[in-house]
Amino acid sequence: MLRIQITTGASQPIYRQIVDQVRHAVAAGKVRVGDAMPSVRALATDLVVNPNTIAKAYSALVRDGVIESQQGRGYFIAEPRLIYTHKERKRRLGEVMNPFLAEAISLGFEPQQIIDEVEKRLRKTFSSPEAAPKPKDSAS
Amino acid sequence: MLRIQITTGASQPIYRQIVDQVRHAVAAGKVRVGDAMPSVRALATDLVVNPNTIAKAYSALVRDGVIESQQGRGYFIAEPRLIYTHKERKRRLGEVMNPFLAEAISLGFEPQQIIDEVEKRLRKTFSSPEAAPKPKDSAS
Amino acid sequence: MLRIQITTGASQPIYRQIVDQVRHAVAAGKVRVGDAMPSVRALATDLVVNPNTIAKAYSALVRDGVIESQQGRGYFIAEPRLIYTHKERKRRLGEVMNPFLAEAISLGFEPQQIIDEVEKRLRKTFSSPEAAPKPKDSAS
Amino acid sequence: MLRIQITTGASQPIYRQIVDQVRHAVAAGKVRVGDAMPSVRALATDLVVNPNTIAKAYSALVRDGVIESQQGRGYFIAEPRLIYTHKERKRRLGEVMNPFLAEAISLGFEPQQIIDEVEKRLRKTFSSPEAAPKPKDSAS
DNA sequence: GTGGTCTAGACCACT
DNA sequence: GTGGTCTAGACCACC
C-alpha cells in the first residue's frame, strides 16, 4: 500500500511533497497500474491536512498522467504514457535541475560528489529494475 | 571580473538569478576571496534593473556568508565558511535532490539520462575544473 | 485588452469558462506574447468571484503553457510552444470531441450541419490569419 | 441489434457511455422507432456492470425522450421529439462547441485539422449515411 | 501591489 | 461513500 508522509513547515509545500512521493512510488514500481489511491478525504484525515490540499496534489498528478480520476469512485494509478514532447521534457528538466545544482554547489559539494549522490539515490529507487514499466516512446 | 547576466521574463526572480550566479562563480573558483563585487548602483545600471533588486540579492548573499560588506568601500567575496555539519549538508542535499529526481523520473528520463544531464550541466558551469578550491571539510 | 465574461450557473464551471476564453483570445491573436493578464484579485473583483477561482483558471493556463507567472509581478502571455506529444494531443482531442459530437447529434444536428457550424466558428475566430503565431513543430 | 460497449477506467462514467452510445445509434439510424432495448438485467450481465448502472442510463434516456418504457415489456426506442427551437438548439450547440474548439486550438491543431478530425469521427459513427432519418425541423 | 499556499466549510454530481 | 467546484479568509514571499 502507498504510504505517504509529509513534514509541515518545510520549504517545499505539502501538496508538492505528496506529488513527489507518489511519482517516486510509481517510478520505483511500488504501486501497479490500476491501484487505488487513498481517497482525498481519507488521506487528508490521515495526514491532518485540508482535503483541498490533497485535491491539489492529485490534480497535479492527473495533469501529468500519473493517476486518473473516476467520478464517485476515486483516483487510480494510470497507464504510463509519454505526454510531453522531447523539447518540453528537456525544458522542464532544466527548470528543476538548475535550482538543485545551485543549492548543491552552495552547500559546498563538489561536482563529482553531486553526481555520486544522484547515482546513489537513483540506484536505491530502482532497486528492482523490472518493476517499473516504461511508457512506450511511440509518440517521440 | 565577475560577469552577471539576467533574463527578464523568467520564472525565477531577478534577485535570485544574481544570487545563484554569484554562488556559482564562487564555487567554480571564478572569483577569489577578497575580490570586489560590482557596486549596487553600477550593477543596477548595467543590468537595467532597480537598485533595490541588487541590494536584495547582495543582502541574501551576505546572510549566506558568500560576500561581506565593508562600510563605505563596497561588497567583497567573503572567506568561505562551512556552517553545516556533514550530516546536515547531506540532509539538505537530499531535500533538494528529491523533488528534482521526482520530476526527472516522472518526465520519463532514464536514470542514466538524468546522470548524463547533471554531468553535462556541471561541466558547463565548471569550465575550468582545477580552478575550484575545495572547502575544508568537503571530503569525508 | 483581454475582456473576460462569465455566466454563473452554467454547466461549465467558471474557471473553465475563463480558461477557454483566454485560449480563444490567444489563438485568435487578440493578445500578444508578453501582454499582462488581469491580476488575480482584479479579475476576481471584476467578475465577482473568489480569487481562488481565478487562480485555478490561471494555473490551468500555466500548465498548458499559455501564460506564465512572475512572482510578485503577475501573469503574462507566454511564447507559444508545443508541449504535448502528437499522440497525447490526439488523445486529448478525442476526449473533448466525443462529448461534443454526442451532444450535437442528440440535439438533432446532421453531420454536415455540425461540420458547417465548426467551420463557421473557426473562420470567425481566425478572421485575421497572421495574428496568431504558430508554435514551432521542432519537437514533433 | 443495438451493440453497446463500455470501457472501464475511463474518465467518463459507465452510465454516460451507455447514454451516449444509444443516442448516437438513434441519431445514426442504426435503430428504428419501436425497436426493443436490451433488458436491464441482460445488458448488466453482458457488460458485467451493476444493473443499477443500466437502470440509471435508461432513466436518463427516458427523461430525454430517446426511449420509452412499457410496463412489463421493456424499453423501446421512442418517437423522436424535438423539444428545442432552432435558436435554442444553435445556442446549445455553441455552448458545447466552444470548449471543444478552445481545447483543440490550444492543443496546437490547425482549423483544417480540426475539421478533418470531426469529419473523420462523424464518418466512423455514420457508417451508413442514408440510414439516418432527418428530424422534422433539422433544415433551416 | 503581486502570486502561492493552506484552511474551513459548503453544495453538487456520480457510484 | 467518492470526486469537483466554489467561497471566505488567512499568511507568506516577492517586487
Q: Which residues contact A68 (CB under 8 A, 6 or more apart)?
A: A62, A75, A76, A78, D9, D11
Q: What is the tens place of the pLDDT at every residue in B69-87?
A: 877 778 888 877 655 677 7
pLDDT higher than 50, residue B21: yes
The long-range contacts involving C13-19, CB below 8 angstroms and separated by at least 24 positions, are C14/C47, C14/C49, C14/C53, C14/C57, C15/C53, C15/C54, C15/C56, C15/C57, C15/C60, C16/C57, C16/D99, C18/C43, C18/C53, C18/C54, C18/C57, C19/C57, C19/C60, C19/C61, C19/D102
Chain C residue with Cα closest to D65 = C106
pLDDT tops 50 at residue A25: yes
User: Which pLDDT belongs to residue D135?
Assistant: 47
Positions 45-74 of A with beta carbon below 7 A from strand F are 52, 55, 58-59, 69-74
CA C117 – CA C23 distance, rounded (Å)? 19
Chain segment A78-108, per-residue pLDDT in tens: 999 889 999 999 988 888 888 788 778 777 7
Q: Are A84 and C85 in contact (CB under 8 A)?
A: yes
Residue lying closest to nucleotide E8, CA to C1': A50
Asked if residue B15 keeps its beta carbon closer than 7 A to nucleic acid strand F, the reply is yes
**Average of pLDDT values for B79-99?**
76
pLDDT tens string C12-49 = 899 999 999 999 899 888 999 999 999 999 999 999 99
Range scoring the smallest mean pLDDT among B1-10, B93-102, C53-62, C95-104: B1-10
pLDDT confidence of C85, banded at 50, 70, 90?
very high
pLDDT average, residue stretch B23-45: 82
User: What does the pLDDT read at residue C139?
Assistant: 40
At C21 the pLDDT is 92
For residues B31 and D88, which has the higher predicted lDDT (pLDDT)? B31
Higher pLDDT, B128 or B42: B42
Residue keyed to cell 571580473: B1
Taking CB atoms and an 8 Å cutoff, what residues of chain C touch A81?
A: 87-88
User: What are chain C's partners, defined as 3 or more CB pairs within 8 angstroms?
Assistant: A, B, D
Asked if residue D14 keeps its beta carbon closer than 7 A to nucleic acid strand E, the reply is: yes
pLDDT value for A52? 94
With CA atoms as reference, the chain C residue closest to B13 would be C71
* Answer CATH for D14-77 from 1.10.10.10, 3.20.20.70, 1.10.3720.10, 3.40.50.720: 1.10.10.10
Task: List CB contacts (< 8 A) between A140 and chain C.
Answer: 85-86, 140
Q: Is the pLDDT of residue B5 over 80?
A: no
Q: Say which of C34, C68, C71 has its CB closest to residue B13.
A: C71
Instruction: Tell me which chain C residues have a C-beta less than 8 angstroms from the C-beta of D126.
Output: 111
Please report, as a single letter, which amino acid is at residue D89: R
Rounded distance in angstroms from the CA atom of residue A56 to the C1' atom of nucleotide E5 = 10
Q: How confident is the model at residue D94 (pLDDT cuts 50, 70, 90)?
A: confident
Which candidate, B94, C136, D39, D94, places its Cα nearest to that of A85? C136
The shortest C-alpha distance from B138 to chain A (Å) reads 6
- Cell numbers linked to A62: 492527473
Q: Can you give the pTM of this predicted structure?
A: 0.73
